[in-house]
Amino acid sequence: VAGVAFSRNPLRPDRNEMVIEAVKGHAEGLVSGQRSPCRARVHRDGRVSVERRSPSYLRLSRRTPWREIAGLLKRLEESYGGKPLDMEWAVDRGQTLWLLQVRPITALAPEEVLPPAGAWTRKIADDLWADRLEPFMAEVMLIHAPRFDLSRIARLTGITPVVPALTVINGYLYVNCDSVRRLIAHIPAPLRFKDLETLLPAATRMGDIPPPRALTLVRLFLRAVLLPLNEPGVIPFFCLRSTPRTIRRLRARMHPVASGANPTYAALLQRLRHDLETLALVQENNQWPYFHATLFAWILRWVSVERLQMTGSGFLGLISRGSANVTIDIENWFRRTAQHIVSNPALAERFISDPPEELVPSLPSELRAEIHSFLQRYGFRSRHRTLLIKRWAEAPEEVIGILQSLVRHPQGTETTLKSTRHNLRGQSPGGVFGPALWLLAVLTRRFLDLREELRFLLDEVLYRIRCDLLALGMLSGLGDATFFMKPQEIEKMASGQMELQAAAQLASQRRRRFLNPVEPSTFWVDGRPEFDFCAGGTVLRGIGTSPGQATGRAVIVEDPGANKIRRGDVVVARHTDPGWTPIFSVIGGIVMEEGGLLNHCSIVARELGIPSIVGVGRATQLIPEGARVTIDGGAGLVRVEEG
């Protein structure tokens, strides 16, 4: 008997099993593809599962020492530093196992980027963290996960949490599908929202998940009643009152960004540890505001759409007015400043004609002071949260670029906003349901605003972490390569346990992988990517998050300060950050590949009356640059009218 063995399943690169194929006699026919083998999967715990596809599988399975082959393969893998291996083997008449050849499986991803076993969803995760994570932040997110993944809350309510709840694949955050299934399993069938099914892979149906038994619901209710004793934040009104105080307390523990004249490794590492702990506290205290924002939005949608038969636009109208948060304040500042510039024809002409880099040092003193004051308050923001991206405080030309877009297209913003908000009023049903629905909508909006404030606090902490890593990079000579080192590796490098050359080489390899564009799949199932199904033709479907219709030129955007954006354009992007919202006064609508109803840009779009649609898979590839498109933010539809 002879054959081949793989220490990782090439089709399902799952760390828990090896694949062994065997044929009678020599294995040339197997390797050349002329003979069908008997195949077995050997799990790391020793369990053997033999497929029954081969006619001679019974004879081959008896004559093949599966566990002995797997043991040899495991020892070889350890000798090769844990790299996935492809081994050719043979067993002679005396049942002696011979190693013929061994080599790395070059078709698989590197060890550290192999997707884990099981099913993982990008849904929910794209709203938690849409940006791609550098290795440093990816490791930090996984270390902090038990502090913000609601696993502690699940235990207090008697639900056994799924571990791990989160993972990072190709730099993108994913949620364990088993966590979603377990959540659905504790929801009675009549209360299961239809949108919950979209969180799971296509092969999974919500109807296949049995509803909870009556006894389970009783236990869950009793534990929930006692939950406020340990977690007072579960009470919505307590959460609304306590969270602003928590934000002030966390902001007070942040140190100034300046590191001093001659910082030492020890001092910088201590600052980094302090800021990472602050980040964990922000993530930890964000649990209940995020939970309540999600819960109230789902309940409001269920009551208004499922029970009261309101339209999607009517539901969005309920949460589209009255927002008051830091992101709205930033958008208002950009709009006011642009109007001030337009009122000065000579200055406006310079903003239209000169590049941002030339404008920054030559602005009038009054405007320069205004921009400086803005950067002091809001300079932590940027177009993306990725640590590699400079913040506004480091790149004021990005702020100038956004102002230029607004100066080029100044007319009509206020009129449009007023008319849109007026059209959204009066859509709530009257009668007995009116006051209850109004209260539900108010609570939803309050928690959405609270999430935006916490999001801004998170931006502040990330800016400090970025500065810490850059300071460490300057001291060590690695520069921004520190973003591609994991926290424990930075500690080893500082203590001398890792040589600088080895650290630089490792960071360089990870940088190359990170800079190589990767399209995040919606799901990963047993090591294989799965994308949302996209119907062919000219109509794309997503999730409408801000009502209204808009027709305009499609513009694929990566940088919101780019000069190509014109008034009325429909922006198409993979995802957006709070740093994008100032351009919302110019555009006619926005289509995003990722995001959700609670996404910050969805919140601002509703407030400004701009149609927005999220969750349109591969929109940046399926919508041609410059095409004429019509979007319906209430129905979640994108129609490509001209290619």
Q: And the tokens for 96?
A: 């002696």
Residue 381 and residue 466 in contact, taking contact as beta carbons nearer than 8 Å: no
What is the predicted pLDDT for the residue at 425? Answer: 45
Q: In this predicted model, which residue has the larger pLDDT, 245 or 420?
A: 245
What is the predicted pLDDT for the residue at 596? Answer: 74
pLDDT tens sequence across 267-321:
999 999 999 999 999 999 998 998 898 889 888 888 888 778 888 788 888 887 7
Please, which pLDDT band fits residue 413 given cuts at 50, 70 and 90? very low
Phi-psi domain of 192 (left: phi exceeds 0; alpha: psi -120 through 50; beta: other)? beta
Q: In this predicted model, which residue has the larger pLDDT, 313 or 93?
A: 93
Q: In this predicted model, which residue has the larger pLDDT, 103 or 52?
A: 103
pLDDT tens sequence across 141-185:
999 999 988 888 888 888 888 888 999 998 999 999 999 899 889
Phi-psi domain of 25 (left: phi exceeds 0; alpha: psi -120 through 50; beta: other)? left
What is the predicted pLDDT for the residue at 257? Answer: 65
At which residue do the structure tokens 């109807």 appear?
207
Measuring CA to CA, how many Å separate 24 from each of 36, 37, 52, 93, 443?
A: 10, 9, 16, 12, 70
Q: Is the pTM of this model over 0.95?
A: no
What is the predicted pLDDT for the residue at 358? Answer: 84
In the 3-class helix/strand/coil scheme, how is 330-379 assigned residue by residue?
HHHHHHHHHHHHHCCHHHHHHHHHCCHHHHHHHCCHHHHHHHHHHHHHHC
Q: In this predicted model, which residue has the larger pLDDT, 560 or 455?
A: 455
What is the predicted pLDDT for the residue at 52? Answer: 66
What is the predicted pLDDT for the residue at 419? Answer: 40
Burial 457-478 (b: 16+ CB within 10 A, else e): bbbbbbbbbbbbbbbbbebbeb
**Least confident among 379-383, 628-632, 638-642:** 638-642
pLDDT tens sequence across 320-374:
777 788 888 998 899 899 999 999 999 999 998 888 888 888 888 999 999 999 9
H/E segment holding residue 16 = none
Q: And the tokens for 323?
A: 């927002």
pLDDT tens sequence across 100-148:
999 887 555 555 556 677 889 998 888 778 889 999 999 999 999 999 8
What is the predicted pLDDT for the residue at 502? Answer: 92
User: What are the DSSP E strand ranges found in 202-253?
Assistant: none
DSSP 382-420: -S---TTSPPTTT-HHHHHHHHHHHHHS-TTHHHHHHHH
Closest CA to 471 of 253, 275, 250: 275
| Cβ neighbours around 57 below 10 Å, total | 18
pLDDT at residue 378 is higher than 90: yes
Q: If you average pLDDT over residues 617-624, what whole number do you get?
A: 87
What is the predicted pLDDT for the residue at 245? Answer: 95
What are residue 64's phi and psi, to 5 degrees? Answer: -105, 120
Closest CA to 386 of 120, 624, 136: 136
Quote the CA–CA distance of 117 and 196 in Å, as a whole number: 22
Quote the CA–CA distance of 548 and 544 in Å, as a whole number: 9
Q: In this predicted model, which residue has the larger pLDDT, 602 or 101?
A: 101
